[in-house]
Structure 1
Amino acid sequence: MNRALIVIDVQESFRRRPLWEAVDRPGIAARTARLVDAARAAGDLVVWVLHAEPGSGTPFDPASGHVRLMDGLDPAAGEPVLTKTSRNAFTTTGLQRVLTRRGVGELVVCGIQTEQCCETTARVGADLGYGVVFVTDATATFPIAHRDAPPAVRAGQDVAALLADPRTLPAAAVAERTEYALAGRFARIASLDDLAPAGRLH
């Protein structure tokens, strides 16, 4: 069975938001690069996905210049780079067509954010019949504000208030809940060391 690594939204846009200071894995680009190296060494397809919100005036607006991969991540020749406008990598892209043409039956999912675009892609992929491997420690996310928190907190603009609010769900808890929701239903949970043992790579 052919396999594809789906790299989701590891892009500069996130680093331009105030909430970046609360990210659980600031080294997500290096973790992603490690998975990419392992995938290429195994002959797996690597698919790069970026998130865009045209006309939004945010760091996700292509006009901002930030809808690009983080430094250190560079697609190789022949590796598809897709842009999505939904929370999963399938709905607004040609991802399924790319995978079908390559005979891919298994997906390895990594990227940003753990419980949003990564989890949603894993769920949709499973529903479409792919085997899915979810590499939680090669994803990154942020604390989530309580639904009744002030708008600036919920929008991730007041990071100090977000972190001070006892109702805020910590990033570690977000990732844990994602694993509970996916495991045995939509995906197999794997670690970075499972797929890319450090000693095997240069």
Structure 2
Amino acid sequence: MTTLTDRPATALLVVDVQKGVVAGAHDRDCVVANIASLVDRARAEGTPVVWVQHSDDGLAIDSDEWQIVDELTPAAGEPIVRKNYGDSFEATELEEILAKDGIGRLVLTGAQTDACIRSTAHGAFTRGYDVTLVGDAHTTEDLSEYGAPAPGEVIAHTNLYWSFQTAPGRTAEVASAADVEFSPAT
């Protein structure tokens, strides 16, 4: 149960699924399809969908690479949060958007597993949110030439350690896209 009082709602958070971010990502098409399925289900169930777009020196706002992938389209009225740091909460209006809608639980999807997804998951958890990481709806690029494990191993390790994350009054879990429930268990 979230430690954020009076915030029983859930939101689907779609982080950095931008053309330039996922162009060479591991299992890109499957991950994007899983996210699209979750977006459709969230909308059908009345669960808010919140989009995040990263920008920095290599990912300029309004460039083609900065755009959300063609397979995903934010609906009118769905918030789009612009960020410059890995943690989607840092120096953004994300917290205010979630608080306004009484959201205390996040279903987390997107890219990059070992950067913005990890940072956002931990950022949300330390701020009191329950966090469900969708194990087959996040991805990363291959950074093995820099000494990182292969992308599939990064994803598997992130899913493993997140499934054991604990803190007082909060829940962390990993679920497949097919098994995500937007309404928390009672």
TM score, norm. by length of structure 1: 0.77
Unmatched runs of 5 consecutive residues or more in structure 1: 146-152, 155-166, 197-202
- The answer for the alignment partner of 1:12 in structure 2 is 19
- The answer for the alignment partner of 1:162 in structure 2 is none
- Select the structure with the greater relative contact order (CA < 8 A; seq sep ≥ 6): 2
In structure 2, what is the Cα distance between the partners aligned to 1:184 and 1:169?
Answer: 21
- The answer for the alignment partner of 1:176 in structure 2 is 156
Identical positions, percent: 34
Please tell me whether the aligned partners of residues 22 and 111 of structure 2 are also in contact (alpha carbons under 8 angstroms).
no
Aligned residues between the structures: 168
4+ long deviations beyond 4 Å? none
Change (3 A) 1:127 1:142: same
Change (3 A) 1:4 1:29: same
Give the C-alpha shift of residue 13 in structure 1: 1.4
Amino acid at match of 2:43: R
Change (3 A) 1:93 1:12: same
Please tell me whether the aligned partners of residues 135 and 159 of structure 2 are also in contact (alpha carbons under 8 angstroms).
yes
Please tell me whether the aligned partners of residues 61 and 67 of structure 1 are also in contact (alpha carbons under 8 angstroms).
yes
- The answer for the alignment partner of 1:26 in structure 2 is 28
Amino acid at match of 1:194: D
- The answer for the alignment partner of 1:44 in structure 2 is 47
In structure 2, what is the Cα distance between the partners aligned to 1:6 and 1:63?
Answer: 21
Amino acid at match of 2:177: L
Unmatched runs of 5 consecutive residues or more in structure 2: 1-7, 167-171, 182-186
Amino acid at match of 1:185: Q
- The answer for the alignment partner of 1:193 in structure 2 is 178
Amino acid at match of 2:103: V
Please tell me whether the aligned partners of residues 6 and 49 of structure 1 are also in contact (alpha carbons under 8 angstroms).
yes
- The answer for the alignment partner of 2:119 in structure 1 is 120
Structure number with the higher helix fraction is: 1
Report whether the alignment pairs 1:104 with 2:103: yes
Q: CA RMSD in A?
A: 1.7
In structure 2, what is the Cα distance between the partners aligned to 1:15 and 1:130?
Answer: 26
Amino acid at match of 1:5: L
Q: Deviations over 1:27-51 (max 9, x none)?
A: 1322211110111111111000000
In structure 1, what is the Cα distance between the partners aligned to 2:64 and 2:160?
Answer: 36
Question: Which segment drifts farther, 115-124 or 177-186?
Answer: 177-186
- The answer for the alignment partner of 2:9 in structure 1 is 2
Instruction: Give 1 or 2 for the bigger CA radius of gyration.
Output: 1
Q: Deviations over 1:132-182 (max 9, x none)?
A: 10002001112333xxxxxxx43xxxxxxxxxxxx6511111012112322
In structure 2, what is the Cα distance between the partners aligned to 1:63 and 1:83?
Answer: 11
